[in-house]
């Protein structure tokens, strides 16, 4: 079975055709439980998310701040496994038809096996992977299997990336480019900053791929600001925090559905 890279492309193109940015939500698998995590993904999609990233919980998530680290710890203590991540992708995709990606560090894939991981992700209906710590120059094996199975390979660029480096990264990637709005880890910020707009401009000069911005966006105003210059707005910590702050799982689902609705309005006010 082939993965859903084409669905990802048509979804991002459809948002652009509506003169808006896409809303991309991030939630970790297995948080607060595997079943609860699947329901949370369905809730953000019901609220208006166009694309969802499923985080593969990791014991040393170098890109992630304390909010997502807390959720990862809950998932890991609950015994989450890669099979649960695949189940989350499968059930979320089957229920909604929305493109679902996995965001993961390289070590779990390396240990699991690249061919096994890509084949299972495609079979589950996944659209691709975001790989924040896989160097492009060491990605040939991954990209070979991802392409064979119809999966996008999304690389992360940062404000520190030089223009030549940006060109190398974007030439190797597919699906979209993940532009980190600032140097640092994930988390909500009072301001997304001008660095993000400059980075999007420099990245677009090297590629026709959509450029989506993450790190720091937590409310409709910030979503509207980023939607003014990016093809997609990526929100993670704000959704996870809403779940963490809720008194129970039902309230958490209501909170992330409501937040997705607000953010979806924000990306339409670019």
Active site residues: 53, 64
What residues does 246 pair with on adjacent strands? Answer: none
What residues does 28 pair with on adjacent strands? Answer: 55
Q: How much helix, strand and coil, in percent to the nearest 5, is found in the chain?
A: 50, 15, 35
Q: Give, in order, the Cα–Cα distances in Å from 103 to each of 88, 133, 184, 229.
A: 13, 10, 17, 23
Written as six digits, the tokens of 110 are: 């390396």
User: What contacts 128, CB < 8 A, 6 or more positions away?
Assistant: 3, 4, 5, 8, 101, 102, 146, 151, 152, 153, 154, 174, 175
Are 21 and 229 in contact, with CB atoms under 8 Å apart?
A: no
């Amino acid at each position: 079975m082939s993965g859903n890279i084409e669905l990802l492309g048509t979804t991002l193109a459809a948002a652009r055709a509506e003169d808006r940015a896409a809303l991309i939500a991030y939630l970790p698998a297995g948080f607060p439980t595997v079943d609860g995590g699947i329901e949370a993904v369905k809730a953000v999609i019901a609220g208006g998310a166009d694309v969802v990233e499923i985080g593969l919980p990791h014991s040393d998530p170098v890109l992630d701040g304390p909010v997502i680290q807390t959720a990862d710890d809950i998932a890991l203590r609950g015994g989450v496994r890669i099979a649960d991540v695949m189940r989350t992708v499968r059930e979320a995709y089957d229920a909604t038809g929305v493109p679902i990606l996995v965001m993961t560090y390289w070590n779990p894939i390396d240990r699991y096996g690249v061919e096994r991981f890509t084949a299972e992700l495609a079979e589950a209906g996944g659209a691709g992977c975001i790989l924040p710590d896989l160097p492009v120059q060491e990605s040939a094996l991954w990209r070979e299997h991802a392409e064979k199975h119809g999966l996008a390979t999304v690389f992360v660029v940062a404000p520190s990336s030089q223009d030549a480096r940006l060109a190398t990264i974007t030439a190797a990637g597919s699906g979209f480019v993940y532009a980190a709005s600032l140097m640092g880890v994930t988390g909500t910020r009072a301001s997304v900053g001008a660095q993000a707009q400059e980075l999007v401009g420099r990245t677009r000069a090297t590629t026709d791929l959509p450029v989506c911005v993450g790190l720091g966006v937590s409310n409709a105003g910030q979503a509207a600001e980023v939607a003014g210059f990016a093809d997609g707005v990526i929100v993670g910590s704000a959704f996870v925090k809403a779940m963490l702050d809720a008194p129970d799982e039902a309230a958490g689902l209501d909170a992330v559905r409501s937040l997705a609705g607000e953010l979806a309005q924000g990306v339409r006010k670019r």
